[in-house]
Structure 1
């Protein structure tokens, strides 16, 4: 999903649809001190109840609102066990529907107006558009494709030392590691030397795949993370511009933790 296109389509739909739109931003972050007891549920209940009371003397508009309210409540109930830091809704009774749970906090707001209130959503998207985080570690490269703090996909590229071809593992559960015991003259020591001797050539062969992925996933921002020499090596072979480079070892970290460390 391209969120920039989604926002444009929401605005266009609203201009063609005569009915009002509910715009709702709900902070559900359990780390927020105001949310320790799930207070967001009370905010949602009260916010929707206030609109219902306000529309008491307009039967047609109230009926429209109740349809939207039921749909929003169903979404929240269905996703109650997988809440993240926020939920964002844009909905009307005549067909507008957008609902997402995000890993980015929002300020809780409710609107019932003739067009969707996209300002806060646009601000979130500007902070974290479609992005690629490329983590480098010797003969392994992990790529996290994300937007709005949400991981869309993770790929692990590992150089097969026998065929000298990059193997791709989509959504890896864990990173692989170089096997063999350490020590001078050991098998692991020999592998390390081989990697060091061939790293430039191997990274050069991987760079076109990273450029292709950046184009396909419409990355607005690319982040390289890992050993600085290795990261700079990959950057030098990529055609796409890298916006940010960080010399940290986050290769084994959970994807969400990586995003929090690098972007959020």
Structure 2
């Protein structure tokens, strides 16, 4: 399910009594307030405040439902402590069952909510700033594609131009430690190969159009050397949300996202 559809499903969720725990937790290791795993303290204290409130209200049904979800949330975050990004967003309920977890690479303001519906406003704001988007990195020898949502890479593939086959071959997901190949200097490309390259750029433009529909991209961003970025952008049916004149082909996914969305 795409993130936009999931958000819509969350907005439509309701229960008769308060039964939904919404957690926004800042886990950004680069935040001075998160030194030495301070997120653990914030998670514990935030959940404790809700527990104290429910204890004072003396509603046994809500207390039981909350305590079950509290344990589940604490276990989820603790089990993934070594893979935390900038933030964690969790929506949880027991009846009807709801379990929606998002580890995001965007800033998150810590907050906790116990309501009869998921508190999605902050999530919607983050989604608006970092929607599902395709980031396209064209170069002379390849086109690298990042499928992203909420500032995180969902999938990645690289299409390499093979001058012998005169076609594109899908290279697959790139290892972060791997050095990309196929970058050939413009002045070294023979006229025949240059024509083929331009023709296959057009073919890649059609592939991008299909991926946009399949992946539910709200935006497409293109980044590369000026002439290549402009040439590739012209093959797209819709004008890209941004066209950045910078070669990021050898950059790590998170660095690419930072350059594109936080420029």
Alignment RMSD: 2.0
**Deviation (angstroms), 1:3:** 1.5
> What does 1:144-183 align with in structure 2 at a 5 Å threshold?
144-173=146-175, 174-178=178-182
Partner of 2:75: 74
Is contact 2:222-2:243 (8 Å) kept? yes
Q: TM-score, normalized by length of structure 1?
A: 0.91
- The answer for unaligned runs of 5 or more in structure 2 is none
**Deviation (angstroms), 1:250:** 0.8
Secondary structure at the counterpart of residue 164 of structure 2: coil
Give, in whole Å, the separation in 2 of the partners of 1:176 and 1:74.
38
> What does 1:224-239 align with in structure 2 at a 5 Å threshold?
224-239=222-237
**Deviation (angstroms), 1:139:** 2.0
**Deviation (angstroms), 1:192:** 6.2
Secondary structure at the counterpart of residue 89 of structure 1: strand
Give, in whole Å, the separation in 1 of the partners of 2:16 and 2:6.
16
Give, in whole Å, the separation in 1 of the partners of 2:188 and 2:104.
45
Quick one: structure 1 residues 168 and 175, their matched pair in 2 at CA, closer, same or farther if it must change by over 3 Å?
A: farther
Q: TM-score, normalized by length of structure 2?
A: 0.91
Give, in whole Å, the separation in 1 of the partners of 2:187 and 2:122.
53
> What does 1:25-174 align with in structure 2 at a 5 Å threshold?
25-56=24-55, 57-94=58-95, 95-173=97-175, 174=178
Partner of 1:246: 244
Count of aligned pairs: 257
**Deviation (angstroms), 1:235:** 1.6
Partner of 2:221: 223
Give, in whole Å, the separation in 1 of the partners of 2:257 and 2:104.
13
Give, in whole Å, the separation in 1 of the partners of 2:136 and 2:28.
27
Give, in whole Å, the separation in 1 of the partners of 2:4 and 2:16.
20
Give, in whole Å, the separation in 2 of the partners of 1:139 and 1:179.
5
**Deviation (angstroms), 1:164:** 0.6
User: Hey, which bits of structure 1, 4+ residues long, moved more than 6 A?
Assistant: none
**Deviation (angstroms), 1:201:** 1.8
